[in-house]
């Protein structure tokens, strides 16, 4: 097979969709070298070095170079046959418009429909744009890949996608998180960034759904019983400023380290940051998969996350589940993990076992199975 990919995110996004794209394409090329892989990208950046077996296609015509977003979203469709593409994979919830008229088979990975479930947390124009792209992709694709059963259920509920059209292919995280724990590397990382020896960790955008405000309230609730600081790796806008205002009012500013504000943190140090954490705090109200949970499990960091949504899929029997809408529940989870060594040990041991369900090899195998079902 000659498989084409929408590779914009692989070259341009450092987290999330970019990590998914890079890990999947690299894994497919490693485990299935008999196939050919073609990356369609508006621009190429050094963020990603594709596998040697992959070919990268960029806009060539003057107008295509001038209007790269239009080339990606529409004009790529007209180039698929000339490049001999058998199947095209939209890696980030969209397919180029017009692909249904090309005769080229397609699939698309849908990560979540959070913008449909919580539209008030998005700009209305963005919601309309996401909806148009997602609906078209779901209609045009031969099969729609969901990254969790939660996302599959949402596709059925919001867009009426037939259940039999939606295979679930769990994603993997960057293989660097699978490297065994290295206490010396953790110590060196903490010294390099001037970080405390004990800390809770928050990884993700600082937005309302991720629930940092309730974590801050839980810290205030515990202020006389638990003195463990929080490291926040992620950025945000108005919501972040709201949280920082609360921290200042409650005298907690010194207890929360917004890492992006005090240093330029390198991705290569992220596994060590997880490994050194007392626990990952991830009481999000809703996600499509929750990749920081998987990164933490591989890093042998205990995970405190939410009941509901996709979290039981990603965290399995390893995580400690709390009510994301209850400050008391979040505080109780933090206190237990901090004060019960046996609990932490059991969580890390179960975490490694559960993480084995989400290896790059298994992810690649599941996606390759989709391709083979489409083009037997």
pLDDT at 376: 72
Tens of each residue's pLDDT in the chain, 376 residues: 999 999 999 999 887 899 899 999 999 999 999 999 999 999 999 989 999 989 999 999 999 989 999 999 999 999 999 999 999 999 999 999 999 999 999 999 999 999 999 998 889 999 999 999 999 999 999 999 999 999 999 999 999 999 999 999 999 988 899 988 889 999 999 999 999 999 999 999 999 999 999 999 999 999 999 999 999 999 999 999 999 999 999 999 999 999 999 989 988 999 999 999 999 999 999 998 999 999 999 999 999 999 988 899 999 999 999 999 999 999 999 999 999 999 999 999 999 999 999 999 999 999 999 999 999 7
- pLDDT for 53 equals 86
pLDDT for the residue 306: 96
Alpha-carbon distance values, 124 to 85, 117, 235 (Å): 35, 13, 22
Q: Is residue 108 within 8 Å of residue 145, measured between CB atoms?
A: yes
pLDDT for the residue 14: 81
Rounded (5°) CA angle 327-330-332: 105
pLDDT computed for residue 246 by the predictor: 97
pLDDT at 130: 96
- How far the first Cα of the chain sits from its last, in Å, is 10
Residue of 73, 84, 95 lying closest to 142 (CA atoms): 95
The candidate with the shortest Cα–Cα distance to 15, out of 212, 190, 232, 235, is 235
Res 311: pLDDT: 94
Q: Identify the residue whose tokens are 């088979």.
A: 105
| Residues in a beta bridge with 6 | 40
């Amino acid at each position: 097979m000659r498989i084409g990919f929408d590779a914009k995110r692989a070259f341009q996004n450092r987290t999330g969709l970019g990590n998914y794209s890079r890990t999947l394409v690299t894994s497919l090329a490693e485990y299935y070298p008999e196939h050919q892989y073609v990356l369609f990208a508006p621009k190429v950046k050094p963020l990603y070095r594709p596998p040697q077996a992959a070919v990268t296609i960029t806009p060539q015509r003057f107008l295509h170079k001038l209007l790269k977003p239009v080339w990606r979203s529409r004009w790529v469709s007209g180039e698929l046959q000339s490049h001999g593409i058998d199947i095209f994979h939209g890696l980030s919830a969209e397919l180029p418009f017009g692909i249904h008229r090309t005769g080229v088979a397609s699939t698309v990975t849908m990560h979540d429909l959070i913008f449909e479930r919580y539209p008030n947390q998005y700009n209305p124009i963005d919601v309309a744009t996401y909806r148009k792209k997602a609906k078209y992709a779901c209609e045009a694709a031969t099969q729609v890949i969901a990254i969790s059963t939660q996302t599959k259920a949402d596709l059925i509920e919001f867009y009426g996608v037939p259940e039999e059209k939606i295979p679930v292919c769990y994603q993997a995280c960057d293989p660097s998180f699978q490297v065994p724990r290295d206490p010396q590397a953790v110590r060196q990382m903490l010294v390099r960034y001037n970080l405390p020896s004990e800390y809770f960790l928050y990884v993700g955008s600082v937005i309302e759904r991720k629930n940092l405000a309730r974590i801050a309230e839980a810290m205030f609730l515990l202020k006389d019983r638990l003195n463990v600081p929080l490291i926040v790796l992620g950025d945000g806008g108005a919501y972040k400023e709201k949280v920082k205002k609360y921290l200042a009012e409650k005298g907690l500013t010194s207890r929360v380290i917004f890492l992006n504000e005090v240093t330029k943190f390198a991705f290569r140090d992220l596994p060590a940051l997880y490994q050194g954490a007392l626990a990952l705090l991830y009481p999000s109200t809703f996600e499509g998969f929750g990749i920081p949970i998987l990164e933490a499990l591989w890093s042998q960091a205990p995970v405190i996350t939410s009941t509901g949504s996709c979290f039981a899929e990603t965290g399995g029997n390893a995580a400690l589940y709390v009510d994301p809408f209850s400050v008391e529940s979040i505080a109780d989870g933090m206190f237990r993990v901090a004060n019960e060594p046996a609990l932490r040990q059991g969580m890390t041991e179960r975490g490694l076992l559960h993480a084995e369900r989400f290896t790059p090899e298994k992810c690649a195998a599941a996606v390759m199975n989709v391709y083979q079902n489409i083009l037997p």
